[in-house]
Amino acid sequence: MKKASKVVTVLVFVFLYVPMLVLMIGSFNSSSDLVVFKSFTMDNYRALFADGVLLPLLLNSLIISVIASLASTVLGTAATLGIHRMGKRMRRFTMFLTNIPMTNPEIVTGVSLALLFAFAGQLMKIKSILGFWTLLIAHITFNLPYVILSVQPKLTQMDPNLTKAAMDLGCTPVQAFFKVVLHEILPGIISGALMAFTMSLDDFVISYFVYGPNFVTLPVEIYNYTKKPLHPKIYALFTLLFLAILAVMLLMNILQARDTARQRNSRQKARAGQPTV
């Protein structure tokens, strides 16, 4: 059984990575067709940097996802702290609210926000309401539940006496929060923020319903591109993005591994009766 599952694992990884390999090979192809490899070229990369259409869109995507993930992290963390103190009924209601965007199909969220913005636009007589702000609002909205759901467990795990202890030792409640609580829930906040960032960086469905002509994100434009003959420079962009994400992930992995290794070492030393550094 172990062998069988190993075989499956290898096959699944092949399955996951073959299409990406096809795209990456396509980025070096002088023909626009992914199927036939004509000859090796770097022209697609040159075209990508020369024409200045796709890179600003990537930047747009980054702007939106950074601001949206930061805003939803702050808003979501504050909300989680509040939820922690709520009565049972209120908490149930809030969690219900949180679960709506999580369980709703993305297309329904997108459609509902599109209708809301169209309605608001009519109400406020703004001709071009769709754009940066509507995208930002939509992204914050679907990011919030991820932040809350990853901060909440940390808060529940935390020993409530910690805050009391800090205050006994002379901290003001605000100090106690920043020195103790925040420190305890930080891993949750970080993973929430990361989750939010990746979710909004590659979000297509919701953005597709709330974007305007003046502010387009990369996934939306890629979709619009797929309705026309595709220029292979888009594969070049894909390859570069893949490498960038791979690099960031590897870096994080290595650092994390080093951290755990160090921790294990210090623990071992401590166990051996040596003073920890």
Partner 1 sequence: MKRQFLSGPYLVWMLLFTLIPLAIVVYYAFTDSVTGAFTIRNMASMGAYLPIFLRSIWLAVVSALICLVLGYPVAWCIAQTKPLTQRFLYMLVMLPMCISFLLRTLAWVSLLEDTGIVNRLLGQLGIGPLRLVRNDGAVILGMVYNYLPYMIMPLYTVIMKIDPRLVDAAQDLGCDGGQVFLRVTLPLSVPGIVSGITMVFVPAVSTFYISQKMGGTTSTMIGDVIESQFKTAYNPNLGAALSLVLMILVLVCVAVMNHFTGEDESVATI
Partner 2 sequence: MKKNLRRVLALVMLVSMIAAFSLLCGASAAKEETVTINVYNWGQYISDGTDGYIDVNKAFTEETGIQVNYITFDSNETMYTKLKTGGASYDVIFPSDYMIARLIKEGMLLPLNYDNIPNAQLVMPAYRGMAHDPEDTYSVPYTWGGTGIIYNTKFVDEADVGSWDLLWNEKYKGKILMFDNPRDAFGVAQFRLGYDVNTTDPQELQACADLLLQQKPLVQDYVMDQIYDKMEHEEAWIGVYYAGDFIMMQAENENLNFCYPKEGFNLFVDSMCIPTSCQNKDAAEAYINFLCRPDICGENMEYLGYSVPIEGATDYMDPEAAANPIAYPDEKTLERGYIYLNLPAETSQLMDSLWLKVKTSGANKTLLIGIIGLVVVIAVCAFFIIRKNKKKAKRKSLYTK
Residues 6+ apart with CB under 8 A from 221: 54, 57
121 binds, among partner 1, partner 2, none (CB under 5 to 8 A by kind): partner 2
Q: In degrees rounded to 5, what are phi and psi of residue 5? A: -70, -30
First-to-final CA distance of the chain = 45
- 102 lies in the site for partner 1, by CB under 8 A: yes
Minimum distance from residue 138 beta carbon to partner 1 (Å):
8
Residue 242 burial by Cβ neighbours in a 10 Å radius (0-12, 13-18, 19+): middle
- Residues in contact with partner 2 by CB under 8 A are 33, 35, 56, 59, 62-63, 66-67, 70, 114, 117-118, 121-122, 127-131, 134, 186-187, 190, 193-194, 197, 212-214, 224, 226-230, 248, 251-252, 255-256, 258-260, 263
Minimum distance from residue 94 beta carbon to partner 1 (Å):
7
Minimum distance from residue 272 beta carbon to partner 1 (Å):
22
Cβ-based nearer residue to partner 1, 73 or 215:
73
Region of 124-132, 164-172, 241-249, 266-274 interacting with partner 1 (CB under 8 A) = 241-249
Region of 41-49, 125-133, 227-235, 266-274 interacting with partner 1 (CB under 8 A) = 227-235
Rounded CA separation 121/231 (Å): 35
> Measuring CA to CA, how many Å separate 273 from each of 260, 268, 269, 270, 276?
20, 9, 6, 5, 9
228 binds, among partner 2, partner 1, none (CB under 5 to 8 A by kind): partner 2
Which position among 9, 156, 175, 266 is part of the footprint of partner 1 (CB under 8 A)? 9
Task: Quote the Cα angle for 173-153-98, to 5°.
Answer: 95
Q: Spell out, one character per residue from 182 to 221, where the chain touches partner 1: x when CB under 8 A holds, - when not.
A: -------------x--x--xx-xx---x--------xx--
Rounded CA separation 144/82 (Å): 14
Strand ranges (DSSP E) for 99-236? none
Rounded CA separation 126/124 (Å): 6
Q: In degrees rounded to 5, what are phi and psi of residue 39? A: -155, 160
Minimum distance from residue 166 beta carbon to partner 1 (Å):
14
